[in-house]
Amino acid sequence: MMHLFLHILKDVTSYSRTARSNHDFTPVSRTVTFPVGVSKLPVDVEITSDDEVEGDESFVLKLSNPIGGRIQQDEGETIIFIQDDDGESGVVC
């Protein structure tokens, strides 16, 4: 008997909600590899600090195009909130 252990590849992209791409955060567009047995991975997103008082904002990270696995209906997107910091370094919640 042969056992195959496959890595699962998924694309991760970001899109704007109230936060603006290339203004409030650096957009994300890359493929992540989930090793066997791993269901969560960190994704780094650069938050851009500014002096504008604009309130809390948000954007979405979306998983798509799985290879070697599937995306559960409730796992495909997550909303990222950026706390308005009025000019201090960016904070992600």
Per-residue model confidence as pLDDT tens digits over 74-92: 778 889 998 886 655 555 5
Opening angle at CA 72, ends 71 and 76, nearest 5? 65
Categorise residue 74: left if φ over 0, alpha if ψ from -120 to 50, beta otherwise.
alpha
Residues 4-41 have pLDDT tens digits of: 445 677 888 998 999 999 989 999 999 988 888 888 88
Give the H or E element holding residue 49: none
Check: pTM over 0.85? Answer yes or no. Answer: no
Residue 25 and residue 19 in contact, taking contact as beta carbons nearer than 8 Å: yes
Sequence ranges of the domains in the chain: 8-33+49-92
Residue 13 and residue 28 in contact, taking contact as beta carbons nearer than 8 Å: yes
